[in-house]
């Protein structure tokens, strides 16, 4: 009986220990410098800068989504959530980093306006072109 009790205790302690280790492990997102893409292609920019979190289909299911504190937005439903009208200005503000999104918590989403500014070496026209083309691509993904 004593051996059985010790065996049960050992199994319990092992299970609790493994559970604690598994619970404390979290997928880590490694940040890498953003590669330059053509400012003319909203699709290429989305795939390079957004798809890792938002998914290639923009539904919020990208490979890095599980590592975030808050689930990435389903970008295909922005118009639906805004009474059927795509929120151009809101999307532009979020991409630029001017609008805080509560779901981003500690600003896990990069401030792409700053990244685009560095890529373009401070040419504001190119920054605006990048943001407009990225926003237009997201607009093209809206659920009908």
Residue 93's pLDDT is 92
Instruction: Give the whole-angstrom CA distance, residue 97 versus residue 7.
Output: 56
3-state secondary structure of 117: helix
Residue 5's pLDDT is 44
Q: How many domains does the chain have?
A: 1
Residue with token string 């590669």: 35
Residue 115's pLDDT is 84
Residue with token string 């997928």: 27
pLDDT in tens, 4-35: 444 433 334 344 344 444 444 455 555 555 67
Spell out, as residue ranges, where the chain has pLDDT lower than 50.
1-25
Q: Within a domain: residue 78?
A: yes
List the domain range (segments joined by +) for residue 43: 34-140
Q: What is the pTM assigned to this prediction?
A: 0.71
Residue 92's pLDDT is 94
């Amino acid at each position: 009986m004593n051996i059985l009790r010790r065996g049960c205790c050992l199994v319990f302690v092992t299970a609790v220990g493994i559970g604690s280790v598994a619970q404390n492990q979290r997928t880590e997102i490694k940040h890498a410098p953003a590669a330059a893409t053509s400012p003319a292609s909203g699709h290429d920019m989305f795939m390079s800068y957004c798809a890792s979190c938002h998914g290639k289909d923009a539904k919020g299911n990208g490979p890095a989504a599980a590592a975030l504190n808050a689930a990435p937005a389903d970008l295909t439903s922005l118009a639906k959530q805004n009474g059927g009208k795509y929120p151009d200005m809101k999307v532009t503000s979020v991409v630029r980093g001017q609008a805080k999104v509560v779901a981003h918590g500690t600003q896990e989403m990069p401030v792409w306006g700053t990244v685009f500014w560095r890529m373009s070496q401070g040419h504001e026209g190119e920054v605006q072109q990048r943001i407009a083309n990225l926003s237009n691509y997201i607009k093209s993904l809206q659920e009908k």
